[in-house]
Amino acid sequence: MRVGLIVDSACDLPYDFARKHDLFVLPVTAIIDGQTYTDKHCPVRTQEFYQSGLLGKGHEAETKAYTAEQIHDLFMEKIVTEFDVAICETVTKSRSQIFQNAAEAMNSVMAHYEEARKAAGRDGKFSMRVIDSKQIFAGQGLLAAHTLKLIEQKLSKNALRHEVETFTDKIYTCVIPRDLHYIRERARRRGDKSVSAFAAFLGKALNIVPVIFGQGAEGKPVVKTRNFDMAVEKVMNYAVARVEAGLLTPYVSLSCGLAWTEIEDLPGLNRLRDACESNGVELLLSQMGITSAIYVGPGSICLALAAEPHTFNDFQ
């Protein structure tokens, strides 16, 4: 039984890790200054976007989910013909249309897959499940890495689905937005009022940089610092202490909306690397994808790990 894992372009993972594990990335459409781009998590294209400055302020940028019809065609061509069981993990459905469109596409695929499968010379039934990851960015990447680990254990499809759906509630994320005003403007266009105009004004006027912490996408500000480096130090302190206390899966996922030279200069990054190496944990360090950077703003950071219930201040 060949099991395939599908994620969308909001899922941040190192390119080499995704390629090694044959991870299929469902594209997202990015529209920047009226020009349409397809985000397939190509590292070269992502780097080009960072260097061009197209993701920064002054540019009109938004993302658009593939339609159910587009997803159906991809599933029929790339998934039905290659796998016997497929798990599709989408960015949290509370922030995107991708889950709904993928679920609609799955229902259509399950009703019509036989002919495509026969033409590809694959015997037997095909089954599929679309799962709301309840995560964003690095959190979605962490869930994908853990799911791949479960797949390697050759669990039954029902056991695999159950493990994934229960595990996602154990993931904690830290987000450091570089510019609250950017996030407020992007959220306003989506009808999301979670970032108030007042908070955006404070962030701009007083150079306040918050750390947003919580389970999945449901985070709240837990620390307000006076500059970006201080916020990064707080998050690195948390991650190092949490790694040393023990995790529920041997991964820490860290995605950064920065150039690679800037990522390597992040305060505390080498301490986190050392802590992960000493504790048998793999640090999944990636450049934030185009979709993620448009959502939260270039220069932002997202860290995710899975652990027993705790608070951010427990590990400061």
The residue ranges of every structural domain in the chain are: 3-169, 170-315
d(CA 138, CA 261): 20
Residue 195 pLDDT: 59
Give which of 42, 37, 3, 49 is closest to 19, Cα–Cα: 42
Instruction: Give the ranges where the chain is alpha helix by DSSP (H).
Output: 15-20, 43-52, 68-74, 98-119, 138-152, 157-167, 180-190, 197-206, 228-245, 260-264, 269-278, 290-296
d(CA 81, CA 116): 7
CATH class belonging to 3-169: alpha beta
Give which of 314, 297, 142 is closest to 223, Cα–Cα: 314
User: CA 201 → CA 133, 221, 291, distances in Å?
Assistant: 32, 16, 25
Residue 198 pLDDT: 54
Say which CATH architecture domain 170-315 belongs to: 2-Layer Sandwich (3.30)
d(CA 144, CA 136): 12
Structure tokens at 240: 């190092």
Residue 304 pLDDT: 98
Mean pLDDT split into 10-residue runs, the chain, 316 residues: 94 95 92 84 82 70 91 96 96 92 97 92 93 96 97 92 95 90 66 59 70 88 91 97 98 95 96 98 95 86 97 91
Residue 197 pLDDT: 58
User: What is the chain's length?
Assistant: 316
